[in-house]
Amino acid sequence: MWIDSHAHLEMKEFDPDRPQVIERAVAKGITGIITIGTDIESSRQAVALAKTYKNIWATVGVHPHDAASYKTETQPQLSQLAEDPLVVAIGEIGLDFYRNLSPQKQQKETFRHLIHLARSVNLPIIIHDREAHEEVLAILREEKAWEVGGVFHCFSGDWEMAKQCLDLNFFLSITGAVTYKKGGVLEEVVRQAPIESLLLETDAPFLSPHPFRGKRNEPAYLVHTAEHVARVRNITLPELSQAILENTSRAFKLPL
């Protein structure tokens, strides 16, 4: 049994066959999916999906790409959505200095606002960090984000970066990127990190694992990432499954 700790089931890529995508996931042993908000509208959609399907939970947040759209009224709207018991985190939030679709200053300001929101509603955070490792870590330290904890989604740093994240009370979430030919740095993180600190995710519809790379990702494909992680760590799939279930439950206070 597995939990996909990060998918975007609300995205238009799943409009043609969303119920079938969820059915295929269940058939592969995916017993839970956390679907992720990236702005007000997708956050609403994520909550609606969680209310529609069994064993789906939601998060609400503003992605760094959309930080420029963050307004005074955004935080109370997210706060209201976060009152739903099926909302398990604030995210995805953070910094993206690779695409810079929002000005970096606004990204940082919005990130801080949303850490404050997480503290006010007593929820962990899900962090998007791309080409901004030092800046993300600095803000987490300045805002004492270890008090809420959370997850580095789609972890992309090296082992030195991973150690700093672990010191701040954050989990490391591993995607299908670990199965790629250039996934050696991520494999080293998977090998070195305490198993109690690891989560698995698809980031569907993105980042399909080998052998589906280049195609639309979906939660059922999490099993391929899990098999690769188990090989890297030299443990059995049941051992990894038990750890991932316990870790995800702990990270998001899920009733498993």
Q: Kindly report whether the peptide bond that precedes residue 211 is cis, defined as omega within 30 degrees of 0.
A: yes
Question: Does the pLDDT of residue 230 top 90, yes or no?
Answer: yes
Give the sign of the dihedral formed by CA 38, CA 41, CA 43, CA 45. Answer: negative
Per residue in 161-203, pLDDT (tens digit) is 999 999 999 999 999 999 999 999 999 999 999 999 999 999 9
Q: With DSSP H G I counted as helix, E B as strand and the rest as coil, what are the percentages for the chain, rounded to 5?
A: 50, 20, 30
Could you tell me how many residues make up the chain? 256
What is the rounded CA–CA span in Å between residue 21 and residue 45?
17
DSSP for 216-241 reads ---GGGHHHHHHHHHHHHT--HHHHH
pTM (2 d.p.): 0.97
What is the rounded CA–CA span in Å between residue 89 and residue 74?
16
What number of CA atoms fall less than 13 Å from residue 96's CA on the CB side?
17
Q: What is the CATH number of domain 2-252?
A: 3.20.20.140
Spell out the domain ranges in the chain: 2-252
Per residue in 105-158, pLDDT (tens digit) is 999 999 999 999 999 999 999 999 999 999 999 999 999 999 999 999 999 999
Question: Does the pLDDT of residue 256 top 90, yes or no?
Answer: no
Per residue in 79-110, pLDDT (tens digit) is 999 999 999 999 999 999 999 999 999 999 99
Task: With beta carbons less than 8 A apart as the criterion, state whether 126 and 6 touch.
Answer: yes
pLDDT of res. 218:
98
Per residue in 18-60, pLDDT (tens digit) is 999 999 999 999 999 999 999 999 999 999 999 999 999 999 9
Judged by DSSP in three states, 37 sits in coil
